[in-house]
């Protein structure tokens, strides 16, 4: 990826990433810092990025989500984040294209039945994690662990 392409991507997505962090309750200063971190990570992964599999915004969004989670984890505020912030986000729905959805379908099929059911209930049927845990007859704390593992496995599969 050339410097010109990197600059173009930065101009196109930097404000969206910044406002994504503000929308998640991060103060303005931290949102600026986190936005910078996102693009540093994006540029590091740009060499491995395959535009035929997904658009740059998909990778930027994934990096933004992970950066936000890391930010709250390091600040020990993860417990203070409401479930909607942690597991539901629709701000980048429009970037999902058919190829990305196909890859996501393959990734979901790589999960065990319980993990896949939990992801489907939370993301596709808009259940809270607590409701999904009750439906699957598992404790809420176990559901959090299973969800974290499932999301990690999905992330690894998609990368």
In this structure, what token pair is assigned to residue 76?
Answer: 């020990």
Q: Give pTM, 2 decimals.
A: 0.48
Query: Would you say residue 94 has pLDDT above 50?
Result: no
Angstrom distance (rounded) from CA 43 to CA 54: 16
Q: What confidence score (pLDDT) does residue 100 get?
A: 64
At 91 the pLDDT is 46
Query: If you average pLDDT over residues 80-95, what whole number do you get?
Result: 50
pLDDT at 153 over 60: yes
For the record, the structure tokens of 94 come out as 């429009």
Checking if the pLDDT of 129 tops 70, the result is yes
Asked whether the beta carbons of 121 and 70 are under 8 A apart, the reply is no
């Amino acid at each position: 990826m050339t410097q010109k392409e990197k600059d173009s991507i930065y101009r196109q997505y930097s404000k969206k990433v910044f406002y994504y962090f503000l929308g998640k309750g991060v103060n303005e200063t931290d949102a600026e810092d986190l936005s910078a971190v996102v693009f540093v990570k994006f540029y590091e992964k740009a060499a491995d990025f395959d535009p035929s599999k997904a658009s740059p915004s998909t990778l930027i969004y994934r990096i933004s989500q992970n950066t936000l989670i890391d930010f709250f984890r390091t600040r020990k505020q993860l417990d203070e984040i409401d479930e909607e912030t942690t597991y539901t986000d629709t701000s980048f729905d429009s970037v999902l294209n058919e190829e990305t959805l196909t890859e996501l379908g393959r990734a979901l099929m790589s999960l065990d039945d319980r993990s896949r059911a939990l992801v489907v209930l939370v993301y596709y049927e808009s259940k809270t994690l607590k409701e999904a845990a009750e439906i699957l007859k598992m404790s809420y704390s176990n559901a959090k662990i299973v969800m974290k593992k499932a999301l990690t496995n999905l992330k690894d599969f998609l990368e």
